[in-house]
A and B are shown apart, each in its own frame.
Chain A
Amino acid sequence: GAVVSQHPSWVICKSGTSVKIECRSLDFQATTMFWYRQFPKQSLMLMATSNEGSKATYEQGVEKDKFLINHASLTLSTLTVTSAHPEDSSFYICSARDGSEGSPLHFGNGTRLTVT
């Protein structure tokens, strides 16, 4: 089945620093990847849609200058949290479809970010 790999699984960083999270589709090509954020006991919140070779589409309320997304190839998208603050501490999960728009999302294992 379709596999999405996400790295790192967890990261602790200091306020003001930047953190990069990688998302790879291992056995399929993904022109589109989705970045979600999930706070404890809350639902998944779509942050942005990453499009290969073009700019990402951000959801309302998500700062594009703070959450930088790069989708440089058909198998790799990166999310960089810039100038991280404690309120950015969350579970970040990427996902992709291995087929048409109606096919299910396959999720990476997620990255737990803690900003101290």
Chain B
Amino acid sequence: GQNIDQPTEMTATEGAIVQINCTYQTSGFNGLFWYQQHAGEAPTFLSYNVLDGLEEKGRFSSFLSRSKGYSYLLLKELQMKDSASYLCAGMDSNYQLIWGAGTKLIIKP
């Protein structure tokens, strides 16, 4: 079956770095997405990886290892506004998104 695993909740300190891991199992693979979702709001797109390696975009970076079925989202210089849920989604061979349950990130001062 298809599955996305990510931690339920993480806590980090303002100004620090946090890495949110995601492992995936999909029928075929057409990329891995990360979305940010603040409470009560819709998700917003953060990153997309389809090739192995690290994609950097400002304070956020995303990494993919296709051989390991593994990705992570790295957030640097954490700010209070980064408190949100982070959703990992794998795209299968039919271009269908398989969603993880999300990782709730709590930032403490």
Contact = CB atoms under 8 A, between A and B. Distances in A.
B43 A107 contact: yes
Interface residues of B, number: 20
A42 B87 CA distance: 11
B24 to A, nearest CB: 13
25 contacts: A6-B42, A42-B101, A43-B87, A43-B100, A43-B101, A44-B43, A44-B87, A44-B99, A46-B96, A46-B97, A91-B40, A101-B95, A102-B30, A102-B31, A102-B50, A102-B95, A104-B33, A104-B48, A105-B33, A105-B45, A106-B45, A107-B42, A107-B43, A109-B42, A112-B40
Q: Chain A interface: which size bin?
A: 10 to 19
Contact of B97 (A6, A105, A106): A105
Interface in A30-70: 42-44, 46
A38 B47 CA distance: 21
A113 to B, nearest CB: 13
Contacts of B33: 104-105
Interface string B28-67: 0011010000001111110010100000000000000000
Nearest to A111: B42
Contacts of A101: 30, 95
Contacts of A106: 45
B20 interface: no
A108 B44 CA distance: 9
A109 B41 contact: yes
B26 to A, nearest CB: 13
A107 B87 CA distance: 13
Contacts of B41: 109-110
B91 interface: yes
